[in-house]
Amino acid sequence: MEKKRKHVTLRPNYTDMNERNVITLENIIHQVLNESVNYKNQVMISHIKDLSLFKTPCHLKAISILVCLNGELECSINLHTYKLGKNSVLIIFPENIIQLKSTKDLEAFAIILSSEFVRKLSLDPLSVSHLLAWEVTRKAKLELPEKEIDHLSHYLAILEKTMKSPFNETSDNLMMYISSAFMAEIIQLHHHYQPAIAEDINGSKRKLNILDKFVKLVGIYHSQERELKFYADKMCITPKYLADTVKNISGKKATEWICDFVIMEAQSLLRYSGLTVHEISEKLNFSSQSAFGKYFKYQVGVSPSEYQGRGQDEEK
């Protein structure tokens, strides 16, 4: 059964987020994070206290590196749950679906780079491959010795100083160099403290690429297509090979990936879009409101109307 969520006063605005729960760096800057420093809406560093914006499943249009200094944080990324404690790091990639579940005495900082800015960074091919492997495997969390956390904190100080400089209007190249060095450092630490990732890169690169492409396609088309064959055809492979590969690499069935994306989108629309159940069923390309209702209730345990009603009750 679906657990009742606590009331959250701050919620995403679908108009501002291009009719989907997509959060840009501008949304974050204006709505949620504390003690933040922003550089031209491309790079932001923040000492985190409030993560209310992420209580609802959303896509973050940026790469975010969150470093937990103290306390606890529990969240899900692409429906996989992560629990962070002291001296742990989490990397969140563009278009990942993230949802905050809980925090306790959290003390953390985040360095957030817009997708456009990341594309300009000077990362070598191995680093790009490593990021790919990191993104599509369940290794987004990294636990580090305190000395390494202290080292990462130095990057935070350097970035913050550069961003606050009166000469920052002419600091584009400097910001790119520092950010590239920071990303390379993160990748190197991940490679060192989770060496098994190298096997993923060298031994299963094709399979990782298939999973990566599949998840991205599902992220794009799940509101219209729920058949595995559609995704297999897009990738020019057979449905069986796609199903076997996804299961082997991610530990979850391909059909479960599709279903989870659909349900997460449906839950967000029911709570925050202002659309009726019938309109949402059409938006998600169900043949009828009844078909949508059966699909949703089978997965969540309550009907779409009940789920929507609970959200409205919580806001009163």
Q: What is the pLDDT along the chain (316 residues), one digit of tens a residue?
A: 433 333 332 333 333 334 445 555 555 555 545 567 777 877 887 777 667 667 777 777 778 889 999 999 998 887 778 899 999 998 887 767 788 888 899 889 888 888 778 767 766 544 554 555 555 455 678 889 999 999 898 888 888 888 887 765 656 778 888 888 888 888 788 777 775 554 554 446 677 788 878 888 888 899 999 999 999 999 999 999 999 998 887 777 899 889 988 988 888 888 878 899 999 999 999 999 999 999 999 988 999 999 888 766 555 5
DSSP state of 246: H
Contact status, residue 292 vs residue 267, Cβ threshold 8 Å = no
Task: Give the CATH fold of the 22-202 domain.
Answer: Jelly Rolls (2.60.120)
Question: Which amino acid is located at 55 in the chain?
Answer: K
CATH H-level, domain 204-315: superfamily: Homeodomain-like (1.10.10.60)
C-beta of residue 315 within 8 angstroms of C-beta of residue 303: no
State the number of CA atoms in the 13 A half-sphere of 33 facing the CB: 24
- Cα–Cα distance measured from residue 24 to residue 47, given in angstroms and rounded to the nearest whole number: 18
Domain with CATH 1.10.10.60 in the chain: 204-315
What is the rounded end-to-end Cα distance, in angstroms, of the chain?
22
* DSSP-derived 3-state class of residue 63: strand
Sequence ranges of the chain with CATH classification 2.60.120.10 = 22-202
